[in-house]
Chain A
Amino acid sequence: MTEAPNAFEMRGIVKRFPGVLANDRVDFACQVGEVHALLGENGAGKSTLMNILAGMYRPDVGEILVKNQRVSFHSPQDAIAHGIGMIHQHFMLVPSHTVAENMVLGLNQPRFLLNLSHIEEQVRALGEQYGLVVNPRAKIWELSVGEQQRVEVLKMLFRGAKVLIMDEPTAVLTPQEVETLFLTLRDMIKQGHSIVFISHKLDEVVSIADRVTVLRYGRVTAANVPAQGTTKSQLARLMVGREVLFLVEKEKIEPGEIILTTDRLCAYNDRGLPALRDVSLQIRAGEILAIAGVAGNGQRELAEVLTGLRSATSGSAHFEKTPLDNHTNWLEIGQHLAHIPEDRAAVGSVPSLSIAENLILKRFKRPPIAKGWSINKAAVRQNATRLVQEYNIATPTVETPARMLSGGNLQKVILARETSEKPKLLIADQPTRGLDVGAIESIHRLLMEHRNRGAAILLISEELDEIFSLADRIAVMYEGQIVGEMPAEGADIHQIGLMMAGVKAEA
């Protein structure tokens, strides 16, 4: 095997943030014409390292070499001038502008007159060269998420990027879109580009990457491992530092009574547009119904209607025999209905209040926490101490403000609060989003425990792996409608992917 020259090399990178050493003497290099995956848990320092390479941050110590020349980047412009461009998880596009207009955004040229048709021509040519088909005159908001990502890639190619850093590019895509993206990436490396692929999805890493470098706690734990011949569990061990179980054991149990029923439920979203259209579902005790779908297809609105945060415009929902509407006594039902919201920091917790105070958010109106008009401080502390231990929440004290916790630990606080009273119905909206494999594993096990003890669970997820390993039944949601429902056993991942993209299931 011939050694290809390095597209870039980072040597001894150290980056310190207050309280954390994000990168500790990291060496990282990528060859010309390879996909190099950068793997690691959340907070392992992947994004920091790549932000340094892309000129967003400057390293405290260490050097960057491009084509064996030492360089120093003061801004992303410097990086792109050396052919290094980064595509962030959240796209940096102007929605009301066209594709071509977005291409020239932030460029020094043209200085005065903007010849858009010339740029459109260039975009079209680039698109053909790399198989990135997109209409240069389309406005960004008209495009699907997958197309927007193509625009981001084109933008970097337009600027002459030879090295493309992609931060979790598949997080927002359907399985089909992921396949298309991978085809493009393979095309690009054939034409001499290099790609750094940041991810914590092991399947994807194994399938797309040539080599893998693993970061843990800011240090490289494995460098330049060939992806071929490496298994998922080997990578997971390198990433987490221990064995990880991927499959949760799914006991066969007979579902019990119907806990949740919705009948042709409709609701609007925040912008007043229809978000739910005639959603009819049923969940029984001891059953996990998973809603598969790309984010923004009405899943959040469904969870909100069922938990009283949004009112339905028509249709009905029942919890056992109780209708879930504006007249419901939510305080009474609340004990039996748990909700793990999509956004744990912005909705699920109160950042400046202590962990102990966050743990009573749903039960401060009831004894033993409530004592007349006052709050029983001793009961609050007792409750917190017990839950911190039971749910393995890593925190210095129960008085620590919630905002100091990591994502995984914060999610444990929310889970502890929501599930410790053994709810009959659990609505989990993206419960593992953004968490690392270790945390995901424990959350999956917890959900399964509650199913086994007889809770009805509505699991909303974009991760098909998660859905397949947990669900008893799968319903696919597209533009506010249930476009298909099937038992998880024997379900075809390809077909679900098509339904997520709006192709109706054949009857």
Chain B
Amino acid sequence: MNLLSRRIRIEARLDNPGWIGVVSSILGIVLALIVGGFVLRAAGANDPIGTYQEIFKEGFGTPADWQAGITALLANTDCPKGSLCFGPLSDTLVKASPILLTALACIIAFRMKLWNIGADGQMFMGAWAATGVAVFLLPPTTDRPVMLAAMALAGILAGLLYGAIPGFLKARLNINEIITTLMLNYIAYKWMEYFVVVGPWSIGDFESTGKFPAAASWPRLTELSDRIPVLSGLTVHPGIFLGIVAAILLAWILYRSRWGYEIRVIGNNPKAARYAGISLRRNIILVMGLSGALAGLAGMNEVAALRELNGRFQRGFGFTGVIIAWLARLNPLAAILVAFLFGGLIVGTQLIQPQGIASMLQGVILFVVVGTELLFHYRVRVEKIEQVTAAPEASP
């Protein structure tokens, strides 16, 4: 009996054209929004599309807002009543700067197939060290640039050391870095809790170090509002430039430097790296250190923006970094854009109830993006086949 039927075949792709990465990231986000829409519905939103529009508006503003802002800027007037002008964009950039740094921390480690999921803890240690310098080490009268530079250095050093611990354990004793970095997160949380909530750094019962001296906080755009009134209320600070500069530097390291070449060789084929005389141990420790340093800088960046360290210092930036790193396909420059979009998502969903929606959407996006990874390596083809007679029963 001959019959014509079709079958779906999933075949390995021989070529991975660049557009596939972009398409699958975008497809991932679109699919995630669709899936998220159903969840929003289940959570009680009657109009998911409307909700998304609202999220976008809260996160980025509308073209009308931007136009009003530009008009006010040119006319040197206040932002007109009822318009948000640059407010949402400013909030989004504030959120984007720490997650860009933690994403870069993940990217450099993941490039060498070191699964550092401890960026959160490293960020906490960075925040802790920067606070120590700002509040307890340097006098409040220190010049702002000196103070901020000292805080950044402290944050970087603390993160570096905290990242190098699992790096050292991996390099010397081959201890799985996933477990150690994950566990070190909780140690960092408790460390911070000890100092700020119960311990020596809290002022009275406030679970806080109290407000930082002015020199220890990022300058904000709103400080210029007496000259340019439209900037009033904008909390955006130079921290975002820190992230962008770090991203460019990281891209240079990865693609142009000898060290980056070593990292890519190890990440792709550690045996070939050994064969070429590249030290695995040294690079594991160095890369984990750099990864931790970037996360630590994110911690400094965040306290300098918050202008205090308190018991509610937010957890999870490190994990958002994992998602962004993956969405950006471990490309430091792409991470800038993705971090900005994620900042918008976080700001836009802040007002949504229940509060878990934002993290749920993030989770769905990662899930779908990892799923569309399939597109990267395989393609789906429908083909006609000629079916021949059925096989006889096998019997030995």
Asked if A361 and B272 make an inter-chain contact with CB atoms under 8 angstroms apart, the answer reads: yes
A353 pairs with B268, CB closer than 8 A: yes
Are the C-beta atoms of B256 and A374 separated by less than 8 Å?
Answer: yes
Establish whether residues B268 and A60, one from each chain, have CB atoms under 8 Å apart when the complex forms: no
Residue A177 at the B interface, CB < 8 A?
Answer: no
Partner of B392, one of A80, A81, A107, A339: A81
Interface 1/0 per residue, B374-396 and A, CB below 8 Å: 00000100010110111111111
A81-B394, A109-B396 given; A70·B388 CB < 8 A: yes
Chain B residues bordering chain A, tally (CB within 8 A):
34
Docked-complex contact B12 and A18, CB < 8 angstroms: yes
Contact with A along B1-19 (1 / 0, CB 8 A): 0000000000111110000
A453 within 8 Å of B (CB atoms)? no
Per-position binary interface string of chain A over residues 288-323, scored 1 when its CB falls under 8 Å from any chain B CB and 0 otherwise: 000000000000000000011100000000000000
A74 at the interface (CB under 8 A from B): yes
Q: Which of A19, A61, A109, A350 contacts B265 (CB 8 A)?
A: A350
**Pick the contact of A375 from B11, B256, B274 — CB < 8 Å?**
B256
Interface: A43 (CB within 8 A) = no
Interface string of A206-232 (1 = CB under 8 A from B): 000000000000000000000000000
Q: Check B396–A352 contact: CB distance below 8 A.
A: no
Check B259–A347 contact: CB distance below 8 A: no
Q: A375 with B396: in contact, given A73-B391, A348-B275 (CB under 8 Å)? A: no
CB contacts (< 8 Å) of B282 on chain A: these are: none
Interface string of A391-411 (1 = CB under 8 A from B): 000000000000010000000
Q: How far is the CA of A360 from the CA of B272 in the complex (A)?
A: 12
Q: Mark A346-360, 1 if CB is under 8 A from B, else 0.
A: 111111110001001
At the interface, yes or no: A137 with Cβ under 8 Å from chain B?
A: no
Q: How far is the CA of A359 from the CA of B260 in the complex (A)?
A: 16
Q: Does A143 contact B (CB under 8 A)?
A: no
Would A346 and B385 count as touching, CB distance under 8 A?
no
Query: Contacts of A375 on B, CB cut-off 8 Å?
Result: 256-258, 261
Is B137 among interface residues, defined by CB-CB distance under 8 A? Answer: no
Smallest beta-carbon distance B356→chain A, Å? 38
Query: Do A347 and B272 touch across chains, with their CB atoms under 8 A apart?
Result: yes
Q: Which of chain A's residues has its CB closest to B276's CB?
A: A361
**Known contacts A350-B268, A353-B264, A375-B261; is-contact A108 B396 (Cβ 8 Å):** yes
| CB of B227 closer than 8 Å to a CB of A | no
Chain B residues with CB under 8 A of A339: 275
Residues of B within 8 A of A17 (CB): 11
Q: Check B272 against A348 for contact (C-beta < 8 Å).
A: yes
Q: Is B172 an interface residue (CB 8 A)?
A: no
Task: Mark the stretch among A258-266, A362-370, A441-449 that contacts chain B.
Answer: A362-370
Contact string, B262-290, partner A, CB cutoff 8 A, digits 1/0? Answer: 00110011011111110000000000000
- Inter-chain contact B268/A352, CB cutoff 8 Å: yes
Least CB separation from A107: chain B residue: B396
**Residues from chain A with Cβ under 8 Å of B395 in the complex:** 81, 108
Q: Are A349 and B388 in contact (CB under 8 A)?
A: no
What is the minimal beta-carbon distance from A48 to any residue of chain B, in angstroms?
Answer: 15
Given known A-B contacts A18-B14, A72-B390, A350-B269, A159 and B258 have beta carbons under 8 A apart: no
Q: In whole angstroms, what is the CA distance A330 to B275 when docked?
A: 11
What separation, in Å, do the CA atoms of A374 and B14 have in the docked complex? 31
Q: Which residue of A lies closest to B392 (CB)?
A: A81
Indicate if the CB atoms of B389 and A364 lie closer than 8 Å. no
A190 at the interface (CB under 8 A from B): no
Smallest CB separation, A222 vs chain B (Å): 28
Residue pair A347, B275 in contact (C-beta under 8 Å) = yes
Q: Which residues on A sit within 8 Å (CB–CB) of B272?
A: 346-350, 361
**Interface members, chain B 71-111 (any A CB < 8 Å):** none
Residue in contact with A74 in the complex, picked from B271, B383, B391, B396, CB distance below 8 Å: B391
Query: Is residue A71 within 8 Å, beta carbon to beta carbon, of the partner chain?
Result: yes
- Output the least CB separation between A17 and chain B (Å): 8
* A341 at interface, CB cutoff 8 A: yes
A354: shortest Cβ distance to chain B, in Å? Answer: 11
> Does A334 sit at the interface, judged by CB under 8 A?
yes
Query: CB-CB < 8 A to B256: which residues of A?
Result: 374-375, 377
A63 interface residue per 8 A CB criterion? yes
Cα-based distance from A107 to B395 in the complex (angstroms)? 9
Determine whether the beta carbon of A373 is less than 8 Å from that of B257. yes
Please give, as numbers and ranges, the residues of chain A lying within 8 Å of B273 by CB-CB distance: 350
Instruction: Quote the shortest CB–CB distance from A69 to chain B (angstroms).
Output: 10
Q: Check if A60 sits within 8 Å of B385, measured CB to CB.
A: yes
Interface residues of A in 54-71 (CB under 8 A from B): 60-61, 63, 70-71
Question: With an 8 A cutoff between CB atoms, is A78 at the interface?
Answer: yes
Beyond A71-B391, A346-B271, A353-B268, whether A364 also contacts B277 by CB under 8 A is: no
Contacts of A360 in B (CB 8 A): 261
Q: Which residues of B contact A349 (CB under 8 A)?
A: 269, 272
Q: Which A residue sits closest to B259, measured CB to CB?
A: A373
Q: Which of B304-358 contact A (CB under 8 A)?
A: none
| Residue A192 interfacial (CB < 8 Å) | no
CB-CB under 8 A for A18 and B390, given A331-B277, A347-B271: no
Cross-chain contact B259 with A351 (CB below 8 angstroms): no
With A and B bound together, what is the CA distance between A378 and B379 in angstroms? 35
List of B residues within 8 angstroms of A487 by Cβ: none
In angstroms, Cα B396 to Cα A317, docked, is 58
* Chain A stretch 390-437: residues in CB contact (< 8 A) with chain B: 404
Q: How far is the CA of A357 from the CA of B273 in the complex (A)?
A: 13
| Nearest B residue (CB) for A377 | B256
Contact B258 A81, beta carbon cutoff 8 Å? no
Is B265 a contact of A353 with CB atoms below 8 Å?
Answer: yes
Distance in angstroms between the alpha carbons of A412 and B52 in the assembled complex: 55
Q: Which residues of A contact B14 (CB under 8 A)?
A: 18-19, 404
Q: Report if A256 contacts B (CB, 8 A).
A: no
- Report the minimum CB–CB distance from B372 to chain A (whole Å): 19
Determine if B394 and A160 form an interchain contact, defined as CB atoms under 8 angstroms apart: no
| A77 within 8 Å of B (CB atoms) | yes
Q: Is the CB of A61 within 8 A of B386?
A: yes
Q: How far, in angstroms, from A159 to B395 measured CA to CA in the complex?
A: 10
Check B396 against A72 for contact (C-beta < 8 Å).
no
Question: A71 to chain B: which residues have CB within 8 Å?
Answer: 389, 391-392
| CA gap between A73 and B394 in the complex, in Å | 10
Instruction: Indicate if the CB atoms of A373 and B258 lie closer than 8 Å.
Output: yes
Q: Which residues of chain B have C-beta atoms less than 8 A from A73's C-beta?
A: 391
Mark contacts of A25-54 with chain B using CB atoms, 8 A cut-off: 1 yes-contact digit, 0 otherwise. 000000000000000000000000000000
Chain A residue, CB-CB nearest to B390 = A72
B112 → chain A, closest Cβ, in Å?
13
Which residues in window 153-175 of A have CB below 8 A to B? 159-160
A77 with B394: CB separation less than 8 A: yes
Instruction: State the A residues within 8 Å of B (CB).
Output: 17-19, 60-61, 63, 70-75, 77-78, 80-81, 107-109, 159-160, 307-309, 330-331, 334, 339, 341, 346-353, 357, 360-362, 364-365, 370, 373-375, 377, 404
20 contacts between A and B (CB under 8 A): A18-B11, A18-B12, A18-B13, A70-B388, A72-B388, A73-B391, A81-B396, A107-B396, A308-B277, A330-B277, A331-B277, A348-B275, A351-B269, A361-B265, A361-B276, A364-B261, A365-B258, A374-B257, A375-B258, A377-B256
15 A-B pairs besides A107-B396, A364-B261 with CB distance below 8 A are: A18-B13, A60-B385, A108-B396, A160-B396, A308-B277, A330-B277, A346-B269, A346-B271, A352-B268, A353-B264, A361-B265, A361-B275, A362-B277, A370-B258, A377-B256
- Shortest 6 CB-CB distances between A and B: which pairs? A81-B394, A72-B388, A77-B394, A19-B14, A361-B276, A18-B11
